């Protein structure tokens, strides 16, 4: 277990270096490409209740275009709210709502702790979760930031709503790894959509 933990930390350092080396125009280009890939994906098209992360600008595929598309398509949009060790998915209703959200110290927008919003798990669960991460294998293994938020949340979906949502991860091509060290607690992602490969 300790060996896997160390391997994960080494890989996190390597992936952070790769992301730091990515230029802003390249991040924008790949984000647009991946957004188009997602919008044409059958799982996205047929899903009505979707949770989507709000991107850390320096390290994650931008999801702003996805939010705009969801509101245009009248899909129900849920975004993460982190309070201590727990993550909830709360309803967001418009781009104006998004713009008005406060920012955390990590420069990520999220609903305030006392914000009274519809909770996805209390109102019917989710069809699809769009998942962030630091690294992914093409087989769906994921390396997160070490807190286990998304792994725990997927288990809660089954326990609290009886529904296992489809999961789609979004990644720059630089985040794709040959393999990812995993433990029994790591949940495999259904689909990994990544930026276009050079070859």
Over the chain (199 residues), the average pLDDT of each successive run of 10 is 88 94 95 96 98 91 97 98 93 96 87 94 96 95 91 93 94 95 89 77
Tokens of 135: 């690294």
- Going by the DSSP 8-state scheme, the letter that residue 72 receives in this structure is H
DSSP 175: G
Residue with tokens 């019917």: 124
CA neighbor of 87 nearest in space, from 145, 12, 11, 16:
145
What pLDDT sits at residue 199?
34
pLDDT value at position 197? 52
Which CATH superfamily, name and number, covers 2-194?
Answer: NagB/RpiA/CoA transferase-like (3.40.50.10420)
Say how many Å lie between the first and final Cα of the chain, rounded: 36
In this prediction the pTM is: 0.94
Strand partners, 193: 170
* pLDDT score at 196: 78
């Amino acid at each position: 277990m300790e060996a896997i933990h160390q391997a994960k930390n080494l890989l996190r350092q390597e992936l952070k270096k790769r992301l730091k080396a990515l230029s802003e125009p390249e991040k924008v280009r790949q984000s647009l490409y991946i957004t188009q890939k997602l919008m044409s994906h059958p799982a996205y098209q047929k899903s009505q209740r979707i949770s989507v992360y709000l991107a850390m600008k320096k390290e994650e595929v931008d999801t702003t275009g996805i939010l705009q598309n969801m509101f245009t398509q009248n899909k129900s949009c849920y975004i993460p709210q982190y309070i201590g060790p727990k993550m909830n998915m709360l309803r967001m209703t418009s781009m104006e709502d998004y713009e008005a959200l406060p920012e955390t110290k990590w420069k990520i927008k999220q609903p305030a702790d006392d914000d009274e919003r519809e909770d996805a798990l209390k109102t019917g669960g989710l069809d699809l979760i769009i998942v962030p991460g630091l690294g992914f294998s093409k087989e769906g293994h994921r390396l997160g930031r070490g807190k286990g938020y998304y792994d725990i949340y997927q288990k809660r979906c089954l326990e609290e709503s009886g529904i296992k949502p489809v999961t789609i991860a979004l990644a720059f091509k630089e985040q794709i790894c040959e393999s990812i060290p995993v433990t029994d607690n790591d949940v495999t992602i259904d689909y990994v959509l990544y930026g276009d490969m050079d070859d």
